[in-house]
Structure 1
Amino acid sequence: MNTVPPLIAVEGNHHDVGEQIGVRTADLIARSVETYTARFRDQAGLDDTTIDSWGRRYHALAEEYDPGIAAMLEGMAAGSGQSLARIAALNARTELLYGTGYRDEGCTSLAVLPSHTRDGHMLLAQNWDWHPEQADVTFLLATRDPSGFTVLSLTEAGMLAKSGLNSAGLGVCANLLVSDRDTGGEGIPYHFLLRGALHARTMSKAHQRLLPVRRISSGNVLLADAGGEAVDFELAPQVFGTLLPEDGLLAHANHFMADLPLRDLKAATSALTQLRPTRVRHLLAPAADRRAITTADVVRVLRDDWSYPDGICRWPDPEVAAGDQVCTVYSIVMDLTSRTLWIAPGPPRDHAYTRWELDALFEPAAPAPARDFTPEAPAHD
């Protein structure tokens, strides 16, 4: 994988946006539905009737949680030619595959407060670690509603969101967490929560989309906004933990860091999770002390491959079978003050970042995205 993800930009009401996404990515959605339907059957023992029954239930829960999300699912089903139940089930893949051993892997997220950046801008960034072949069905999704509110997010085909930012200056990054509180059943799927947060126009509203809801799976959400604040929520069923920046920095990997009444089921097995947040702080500390962190400094952190192949910049492990390989699939840096997103295919040390300006995504003569932060020579053998 060595290409920049395509940009799919659509506008209209929620149903229209979903329908346009469905039409423009129908082939990719079909691949996602096929892939995850096979996993539902082979790993969770779910037949088509059961998959669709749960899909209809999750769509009903979406209508209660956020009608805009429900309308997007309906439009995506209509545009792609897939059943609504199957599209909803795809967005609840983590919950449907609970207990099968299937879990997203990796991810390192970080935020830098404006008080510690050279230009006084709020920075938010993430490496997304997962199976490298998943890059083929992943793209940047830009949506704009009739009021002009815009969301730009990295998205797997058929799904609503991963990490991204919106025109209100709010940004979201997501990390895997697993606890003994996780269950299958009825609740708001994790990917609904991510889209719900991106629909929020204020930090307060984003909290309301994440916290006072029935959750059935664990996950980490790092929020930041152009107003200069950041907060990390470690979410689990019925409980959550809150982490705040220290010395202008906030970083998270794949283990619980707050004191919560649960048993962490990923802390011992997620590659280098115990050290990745500390490594972020060590690398940024000199510039943080000068209150002069730049986007280039954050890029250097995301390209760090200390403890190769399992560093912040993660590479495929040659000792792992091909079907189980995990690496940094995409690397994202967001300047929430200027509403700018940089993205590089992974591992990012090998690739340049492409810059997208949120305010220009829907301009009639929008310029081609700029290339920046050229690849670096590998530091490993």
Structure 2
Amino acid sequence: MNALVPRHASTETEPAARGRELGAACRDGLRETFAGYARLFTAHGLHPHQVRDHGAAALAEIGAWAPSLGAEIAGMAEGSGLPAWQLGALNARTEILAAAAVTGEGECSTSVVLPGDGTPPRTVQTWDWHDVLRGAMLAWTLTTGTGRRVATFTEFGVVGKIGVNDAGLGLHFNVLRHRSDGAEIGVPVHVVARRILDEATTADDAVRIARSARLSASSVLTVVTRDGARCVELCPAGVAELHPENGFLLHTNHFLDPSLASGERTTADVSSTLDRYAWLREHGGAALGAEDRTERARALCVHRDSGAPICAHADLALPAHERWESLATLSIDVAAHSLHVHHGGPCTVDERSWITCSTGGGAFA
């Protein structure tokens, strides 16, 4: 059985106290994760003073747009003993890399299938990132001050990423890159994801929240409820919604909305996103809609020599900041309000390797 993703179940519901609790409990993980990102930023030519300024700018944006999450992040800093700007930089890692105009192979591949017979959507995705940041992963369950229960897969210090809430709204997450991405740090896309998990009960709620944020980097959030799904493409130039076609909703790491796609910054010479998307459309078929999540995950067990590196493995001949790996495989069950996480890529999944992050009584199984 594979190693399990580290887990934390918050008991505090007040934002600052919840942050302090996590910061104290996960102090080592937070420090190691920031150190890993500091090395990544340096490798991409960012001076530590730039990272500090970007982190401080992110804190200001978060505090203005989502005060409760700003308080939670401040609590993490206090609990861990890290400077607050470092927590700001972790939450804005996508924005900082966008400000440096970083491109690269990654990241993720997401599939949602709607059976169309009243059965809830069936989802699966890979989370691809730098292999040297494998230790940054965290599965986290929490209850907000309003009583909303959330389970999220994220990174130490980052308030949210992929997840589900007890209203039965799930969220998948893929990075995008657009020519409108800029150097003036906006609301981090990871903070947008977490606020949606905290507050939204419908896809329309999620879109409204996303549209209210001033962004400086791009991503796509795939919102899933029992009744359906849609992709919400985000970038500073605008927000677009995409709906399923023939019961399938697929996304990798390039814009699909025609208007936003005109500003696409990712190219085929640096990323496999076009190949991965084409493979999913052509070969996914019934396996991606299987009732069993392990079978869905195994449908993503496709490597570069088979046509697309959906299941990615790091090329150790490359510098660390240019290496990519499928670090986790995830599936959301919106009917059971639970998130399932496997530590590793699809080719290492088995029935026993999942952990279940629940918004119900028991946090993890």
**Counterpart of 1:274 in structure 2: which amino acid?**
L
1:155 and 1:221 map into 2 onto residues whose CA distance is 14
2:36 counterpart residue number: 35
TM-score (structure 2 length as normaliser): 0.88
From 285, 301, 304, the counterpart of 2:302: 304
1:374 counterpart residue number: none
- Aligned residue pairs, count: 359
**Counterpart of 1:75 in structure 2: which amino acid?**
G
2:28 and 2:103 map into 1 onto residues whose CA distance is 24
Query: Does 2:263 match 1:263?
Result: yes
TM-score (structure 1 length as normaliser): 0.85
Is the 2:107–2:128 contact (alpha carbons within 8 Å) kept by the matching residues of 1? yes
1:85 counterpart residue number: 85
1:41 and 1:359 map into 2 onto residues whose CA distance is 38
1:375 counterpart residue number: none
**Counterpart of 2:337 in structure 1: which amino acid?**
R
2:3 and 2:59 map into 1 onto residues whose CA distance is 34
1:114 CA displacement: 4.6
* 1:119-146 alpha-carbon deviations (Å, 9 max, x no partner): 8122232101112232212110111135
1:125 counterpart residue number: 124
Matched residue SS, 1:115 = coil
Query: Does 2:153 match 1:154?
Result: yes
Q: How does 1:279-290 map to 2 (within 5 A)?
A: 279-286=279-286
2:272 counterpart residue number: 272
1:5 CA displacement: 0.2
1:45 and 1:338 map into 2 onto residues whose CA distance is 43
2:187 counterpart residue number: 188
* 1:138-167 alpha-carbon deviations (Å, 9 max, x no partner): 110111135442111111111111211111
Change (3 A) 1:316 1:121: same
1:245 counterpart residue number: 244
1:303 CA displacement: 2.5
* 1:234-287 alpha-carbon deviations (Å, 9 max, x no partner): 211122222110111100011111112543221314543213234334444346
Indicate the structure whose relative CO is greater, using CA pairs within 8 Å and at least 6 residues apart: 2
1:3 and 1:294 map into 2 onto residues whose CA distance is 21
2:344 counterpart residue number: 346
Change (3 A) 1:313 1:178: same
1:300 and 1:132 map into 2 onto residues whose CA distance is 21
Change (3 A) 1:19 1:95: same
1:56 and 1:318 map into 2 onto residues whose CA distance is 34
1:37 CA displacement: 3.2
* 1:58-102 alpha-carbon deviations (Å, 9 max, x no partner): 222112211121111111011101111221122112222322526
Q: How does 1:66-85 map to 2 (within 5 A)?
A: 66-85=66-85
User: Of the two, which has the highest radius of gyration?
Assistant: 1
**Counterpart of 1:125 in structure 2: which amino acid?**
V
Q: How does 1:140-219 map to 2 (within 5 A)?
A: 140-203=139-202, 204-219=204-219
1:120 and 1:266 map into 2 onto residues whose CA distance is 35
Matched residue SS, 2:102 = coil
1:328 CA displacement: 0.6
Matched residue SS, 1:267 = coil
Unaligned runs of 5+ in 1: 370-381
**Counterpart of 2:174 in structure 1: which amino acid?**
N
**Counterpart of 1:122 in structure 2: which amino acid?**
P
2:146 and 2:64 map into 1 onto residues whose CA distance is 23
1:36 and 1:299 map into 2 onto residues whose CA distance is 28
Unaligned runs of 5+ in 2: none
RMSD over equivalenced CA pairs, Å: 2.7
2:192 and 2:208 map into 1 onto residues whose CA distance is 10
Kindly report structure 1 stretches of 4+ aligned residues shifted beyond 6 Å: none
1:124 and 1:267 map into 2 onto residues whose CA distance is 27
1:319 CA displacement: 5.6
2:273 and 2:105 map into 1 onto residues whose CA distance is 14
Change (3 A) 1:322 1:201: closer
Is the 1:106–1:270 contact (alpha carbons within 8 Å) kept by the matching residues of 2? no
Residue identity (%) = 25
